[in-house]
Structure 1
Amino acid sequence: MLSHKLCIALIATLITISFNSCQALNCATALAGTNPTACPADVTQCFIQTDAAGTVTRGCLAAGTTCTAPNCLQCNTDNCNANLLCKTCAATDVTCSTTDGKSVGSQMCTAATQQCRTELNADGTVTRGCNEPCATTAAGTCTGCTTDNCNVGFYPANRLQCYQCNSANCNTVAASSLAACPTYQADQKCYTIGANDAAMQRGCNTDAGNKCAGTTPDAACALCGTSGCNNRPYEQVLGNCYSCNDAAGCVGGQTGTAPACPPAPYTQTVNSCYTQQYANGTVQRGCTNELTSGCTAANGCTQCDGDTCNSNQNVFGCLICRSDNYAECRAGDDAVQPCVPNTGDNANICFEGEWDGVVLRGCLANAGPLMTYQCTNKDDNRCTTCNTSGCNKTPFSGASTLSHMGVGMMFGLIFIIKQYL
């Protein structure tokens, strides 16, 4: 009796084994495993594979076929290759943060609910891989997506990319040296620093040990805030400026071809030109980086940015008015008007004075001999001069008389006053 029951049990076991061995493995051929494919009897593995272009394929792994991680993954249960394939890398892998993640390996998610995630860690590094959907409170530091290998791209999207090199070959940057900053900060900058064209250094100012970090960077640092901006060589020609210093032709507006400026250091970002007017009315123009004494208002110099920006006629101006036909002239409330270009002792000098209750203002170079004498005579307090554009705007509140003027001087002055009618 016992042997009979044992025989029946053995037969049942053999039938079950035979049934299971004949049942084909089912493998997904698409994401989510809809309409899985029944594999041939000799197939025991499903696969999921990504090629160099990022295209993902799924199916039955034919016997004898090679499937090698990380580009090809295999599993041995029904529809096991139906879940997402995601890029995966840890925060300790610098390429996870400094690249778009396309070159890192992939992992097959273990649950249908998982997504491909990219996360910004507290230290500014990045992690990629399979995980449950991001919390709604993690916006900006966690992003999930639901297609194969979708968790690629620089993260966050505005992560700064800087040229990074430190060698004799760093003066001219190579495209391959452009990389995202290893750690992310919202206000970080790219930097360039160097002693000469054979000793240049570039990177992110958040990199450890660089001289351009913090709130007090080295004076030789050039900082900028857009991706790839730290690409300037040690010296380069930035543009052209008009250059002249002759008394006859340099005062007027400049035309024609302007010469190139000398090479500018990497700390200068745009071409800069200057126009300088001397006390005698002569003008000099050129490139700002040619000046040894700087360009300031104190030395009559103005500078501008851009190619040939110093082309305009150099105009010295004064208030030109008389109070008996323009009441606001007394208070100095009038627009500056250009003086006739001039050179000599009285160039670039304005005057202002009051005679018999009439206030006159103008350009001394355009005045006659009598007015010039009165305005330049230190013992005559009726008229004063000044030598910056628009400087003759002192308000007059009282009236004076001509009682102490000689008749000849009075008629001479009346003749000069007619110029300002």
Structure 2
Amino acid sequence: MSTVDVAYCLANPSQCNYCGKKLCNVLPFSASATTKSCYQCDGSDCLKSSARLVGGMATERGCISAASDLLGCTADGRNCATCNIENDGEACNGGLFPTDRRRCTIGTTANAYCPNPWDDCVQLLSSGTRKRTCRSSLSELERSFCANNTNRCHFCSADNCNAAEINFNYVECLSCDSAKDIRCATNPAALTSFVQCATCATALVTSAGKTTTVRGCLASLPADVSGQCTVTAGSSCQRCSTNRCNTANFPSDRLQCYRCVDAPCVSHQNVRLEYCPEYRAGDSCLLESNSDGQLLRLDCRSSLTESELNACTGRCQMCSTSGCNDPMAYGTSGSCVQCRSSLNALCRSEATQVASEPCTNPANSQCYVRLVDGVTERGCMSDLAASEHSACTRGQNCLVCNSRTNNCNTVQYPVAPLTCFQCDSRTDGENCKAAQTGEAPECPTYDTANKCYTIVQSNGDTVRKCSTAARDAECGTASGCEVCLFRGCNTKANSAVGVIEPPVRTTTPGPINDASTPVVSYTVKIVMMLGMWLVRARTSIAQI
């Protein structure tokens, strides 16, 4: 047939008839549908013979009535089969299609065809009941069971491969070594290499000074390592006996950080959230940037050498919670003024003159200013211990602000503290003795009991100071001393400071020489008179 004839017949199948025997086209031909006969079906009833597969699994058989019926058919015939009508119109599409359609043991029937031509066979054991079937015939409940109990379902890809009874007396364990695949430590969930074991284990194995993470069968570990394996969570080795139980992070406190060594570390394609390859208790996440603010590296502190850590000084921020070095948060954590008034006099009331600094923790979002033993302290909330953080949050001698607001923690705190002139003429010179002018500085430490003192000794030495002590304690043996409670109140020249009067002596004369004699004589006289009275009284009684 010419190309034109073939095209015509495809477009007008009722006007053409095909046959495959010698001189078969000598028979009378009538262009009517009754001269053609094809098996016509759809779905599972078509399993033993077919013309076309629809949607991958559904089988469809029928007559080709238009060229569109052949659309989607591949050249290799994998999903379509056509045949010429022969033998006086007897159907030709009743054979098996595809010829290599998968056969599995279904129930007790072997060599049963699966609905999906390229199916897998399966054998599962659930609640003591064993079942054999095709993968595509599993119910949703059975699919879920197999997904959660891979050691109770066996899939295979050969005809009748599920016929023999499977021994399901095992658990599947992840098998890997971080020395060969770093994901064994950093991302075990991404691995799929499982082996059949009696017991699973995960261990840290140290060799030649390097520690690696190893997962697999307990029995496959070195004896000195497996002997340390415990059921409870440990830091060197842990064993377990349930299916795929050794896939979790190990040890459980291994820190998870964003990692990137190809600057700039802003593309999600180059940034990965992973567990730290080297396990270190108390590890930290690290974020390194240059002077322009470009992110150079995201990593775990344990992954850096000592020289790298030294070079990182001043450019690195570190934190200790999972994923805390998120590059998406970088640049939004802001900076805080960080100082103590005991070390920097500007810290208390002139903090705007102190340069703010990036917080150590890149995830920090708040600054604080607080009083600590009378000293004003400013810094990042993330640097406070849990109890201090809680106290600041409650406003206990502390103010908190948003670190994304520039220099937010520079407000004066406490408000309007006492100011006193502070000097010592022995070290600061004669000016300390003169009347003070100008603005008095704040007291070094804040205390509501603070008072201003001017203390003058008999030789003229003068001290001006803040103190919470009582007047008697501060003034002592000084010849002049004054105390006041107002800002900058101790201004007087030392010559004008009030003199401390010595204790007033009493003018009542005390006993001198025999001053006690008159008292004694008077007492004796009374006793003598009483004696004489008693004698007379007895005499009178005797005469009666």
Higher relative contact order (CA 8 A, sep 6+): 1
TM-score, with structure 2 as normaliser: 0.40
TM-score, with structure 1 as normaliser: 0.49
Bigger Rg, which one: 2
